[in-house]
Amino acid sequence: MKRFLLTLLALVPLAGLFTGCTTVQETGRSQVMLISPSAESQMGLQAFSQIKQEEKILKDPAVNARIQRIGTRIAAAVGRELPDAKWEFVVFDAPDTLNAFALPGGKVGFYTGLINLAESDDEIAVVMGHEIAHVTSRHGGERYSQNLLAAIGGAAVAIGTKDDKNKELYLLAYGAGSTLTTLAYSRSHETEADAVGLRFAAKAGYDPRAAVTFWRKMAAKSGGGEPLKWLSTHPPTGERIANLQRLAVPLMPVYEAAKAR
Ligand SMILES: [Zn+2]
């Protein structure tokens, strides 16, 4: 019992304010949230600087400028939904790594493997929108909170006695970095990020139909039996592709208007 209490005490400051429950702005879904947005941003920032040290940053100015250009437009579309964002878009030189992620605080990482597969700016934009939607919907924070509750409630209270362990939990929650193991987002998080992210892309003037072509390509890729981490956490199911097709229809006027500007 004493150990359990000590563990709890160790967890409290790391979790920031116990805010309990919040609502996802875009969808109105309520979620468990035991971490404040500022604590989340702080951990996102720390994680991002760690990843930048561990991974090889791409030197190619043309590719960097391209991701920067797409990112700037998506960031403008996200606007106040991520009020404290200090946007940063970094390309990692790893042609075999099919991965992309976004962290709280507005930190976005793209691996060259995924950029090469995506081909068009529209396809890159829908992936970026999706990843940023995980952040605006605070999916990592939610998962972190769920993990924390499980740790507190379960027998495995050894977790959280070290700061490192807690940070690890958090990193896992956002699936950042190419070398870390990842927990898959739940299907409901994926569906929510698809809907919210596609709206960001359309608002930024990118064709929402690109999500369909991109995921079809991903589906073809998944047949190759390659161990692709991002793919394993983002299954390109027929159901997902059909849903994206439906979601793109009402977004076409949004996209056309943004493009005409
Ligand atoms: Zn996702």
CA of 124 from ligand 1 middle (Å) equals 14
Specify the residue for token string 């919210």: 196
CA of 130 from ligand 1 middle (Å) equals 6
CA of 87 from ligand 1 middle (Å) equals 19
Chain-centroid distance, C-alpha 167: 17
**CA angle (91 as vertex; 90, 97 as ends), nearest 5:** 130
233-239, Cβ contacts within 8 angstroms, sequence gap of 24 or more: 233/175, 233/182, 233/183, 233/184, 233/185, 234/190
Backbone torsions φ then ψ of 249, nearest 5 degrees? -55, -55
Q: Is the dihedral of CA 189, 205, 70, 214 positive or negative?
A: positive
CA of 259 from ligand 1 middle (Å) equals 26
CA distance 30 to 22: 6
Give me the DSSP letters along 207-254: -TTHHHHHHHHHHHHHTT----HHHHHS---HHHHHHHHHHHHHHHHH
Q: Which letter does DSSP use for residue 151 in this model?
A: H
Backbone torsions φ then ψ of 28, nearest 5 degrees? 80, 5
Backbone torsions φ then ψ of 30, nearest 5 degrees? -90, 150
Q: Contact at 8 Å (CB) between 31 and 142?
A: yes
User: What is the pLDDT at residue 147?
Assistant: 75
CA of 108 from ligand 1 middle (Å) equals 13
Longest dimension (CA), the chain: 64
Q: What is the pLDDT along the chain (261 residues), one digit of tens a residue?
A: 344 434 443 444 444 444 578 888 888 888 888 888 888 898 889 889 989 999 999 999 999 999 999 999 999 999 999 988 999 999 999 998 888 999 999 999 999 999 999 989 999 999 999 999 999 999 988 888 877 777 665 444 444 444 555 555 555 555 554 444 445 577 888 999 999 999 999 999 999 999 999 999 888 877 655 556 677 677 778 889 999 999 999 999 999 999 988
Backbone torsions φ then ψ of 164, nearest 5 degrees? -60, -40
CA of 235 from ligand 1 middle (Å) equals 9
Per annotation, catalytic residue among 131, 142, 190, 192: 131
pTM: 0.82
131 catalytic residue (yes or no): yes
Residue 63's region, left for phi above 0, alpha for psi from -120 to 50, else beta, is alpha
Pairing of strands 88-92, 100-103: unpaired
Helix/strand/coil for 80: helix
Query: Of 127, 129, 144, 185, which Cα lies nearest the Cα of 42?
Result: 144
CA of 5 from ligand 1 middle (Å) equals 35
CA of 60 from ligand 1 middle (Å) equals 27
Which tens digits make up the pLDDT trace of 183-242?
Answer: 557 788 899 999 999 999 999 999 999 999 999 988 887 765 555 667 767 777 888 999
